[in-house]
Structure 1
Amino acid sequence: MKGKLLLISSIFIFLVLVSTVASTTQFTKIGSGSEPTIDASNVVWTNNGNIHVYNLTTKEDVIINSSVAFHPAISGNKLVWYDESTGVPKLAVYDLKTGARSDVTEDVDSYSVPAIYGNRIVWSANSGVYMRDISTSTQTRIADGNSPDIYDDMISYESGSAEDTPQIYVYNITTKQAVDVSQYGDNLASHICDDKVIWSDFYTRLGNIRMYDIAANQQIEVTTGDDMTGYDTGGSIDIDGDRIVYLKHNDLGSTDSGDVYVYNITTEKSKQLSSGNSAQTPVVSGNVVAWSDSGSIHIMSLETQV
């Protein structure tokens, strides 16, 4: 009997070790830092105030010196980040092909977090949403609001007065019209891609993720549940194509870290990608997911995932 128990224990330990090795080989560490963002073949992040640009094809890591850089965003060869290297809040715009750099200082405050699509940059400052066309140097105040994101000619953002709970709006650049897509209050961290808008709902679902299909004029619950364990949360969500990545907290003490999950909009199924409850800021582009974990930048291919 003791021999059988020893054999079973040995098999269990072996399986645990194999599982651990398998899980750790699923992702690759590509550098050190935080706040990763991704577009096509480039992963961008910050480390010690500098910007890193890692090419997934060549595996080359290019460092752009900027002593106080935060919140990078990338679209094609255009890169933008929040910069305080001179002590004055500004947005730095950088062309990866030419190395040309310019700064946006008008209507930028210490809470400005940029997003970019093509030649258009959006951000918020002093409770206003702004858009700048890099190619024409034209800047416009879009609406009252915060935390904008942009895709093609659509801008999503959060807006609400002191008397009203925040709502998620989508602004059409061509028609100059905004539509409330959230239907509930206390919504945060919207992201937009194609005709889908996602956000975290803290009004009824403790941070669970909702999605609005603009084409179908329909709202969908991506994650569900209203208990106080394992709830999904807020600022760290992203969408590209039919995939959504997000963090799930495993304990109530976590506020900005958890495990990375990917949700497939077509199959309506989720899969856990990381463990340890220490991941932060997951992002997705095509078949690649990136996130930070304890000062390291990790990437994972989704070709064999959901």
Structure 2
Amino acid sequence: MTAPRQVLPGVTYLVTRRCFQRMFLLRPSPATNAIFLYVLAVAARRYGILVHAFCVMSNHFHLVVTDVNARLPEFEQYLNALVARAVNASLGRWESFWAPGSYSAVALSSPQDVLEKVAYVLTNPVKAGLVASAKEWPGLWSAPESIGAGALRVTRPDGFFRRSGPMPEVVELALVPPPGFEPADAFRSLLVDAIAAREREVAHAHALAGIGFVGARRVLAQRPTARPPEPPPMRGLRPRVAARDRWKRIEAIGRLVGFLRAYREAWRARRAGRSGVIFPAGTYLLRVLHGVPCASFG
């Protein structure tokens, strides 16, 4: 049995989704950028998701979000399905868009972990050797100065979405500082410093290796159905929690293990026909699809 996700309210996540066979289906373009931003704004409003940062690379995307109402799976299903259909339509294709399997959602244990992952997301184009500065990335990218600076007004793109359809003509998307960081300007300052440090590290490594950056112009010239020339990385672990502090990491893993153990015990009891079985807090799919009773959170 596939290990279930534990979905609890108020958790901040690093969310990642990759394209089918590593193809550049999300390659930056005016159409792709507009579609993704619009669908992200609609999905965030629809499911009460707080968006802190995002970066859409050519063959995957990263988000850092807080799931206020424990609706992350619904948010991801809506976002991924609509982005796939709309971008596929803009490219004149209909084949699989996302890699097999599900999205990755890594729960972040502390404000410091959140800061590190936001910096990681926003410097992803630099780490990948595509541009020397994160601000040079021509794809969808959330600038640090936009956090806490008021809502973005996002207009419905032409083409896939019907003018007379149910999708709103204009939707707002507010980028907010993550929980534990107030006021917004303090978080922005920390983030700018973290981004600069990561960019310096990559620049130093490239200088030592004698290699340059691909550059925005060459990124924009890539075909959407192309893929990276290097072989795919070997499959490794798929973490569900991230914590730089060892004891916080041990504690978070312990909670997750306890949830999985309690979930499997409840599952076996339900399969055996026992009545009144209570599933642990954070049970999602069985609660949504079958209405199983669950323990309260907190």
TM bucket by the smaller chain?
A: under 0.3
Bigger proportion of residues as helix: 2
TM-score (norm: length of structure 2): 0.25
TM-score (norm: length of structure 1): 0.25
Bigger proportion of residues as strand: 1
Which gives a bigger RCO, structure 1 or 2 (Cα 8 Å, sep 6+)? 2
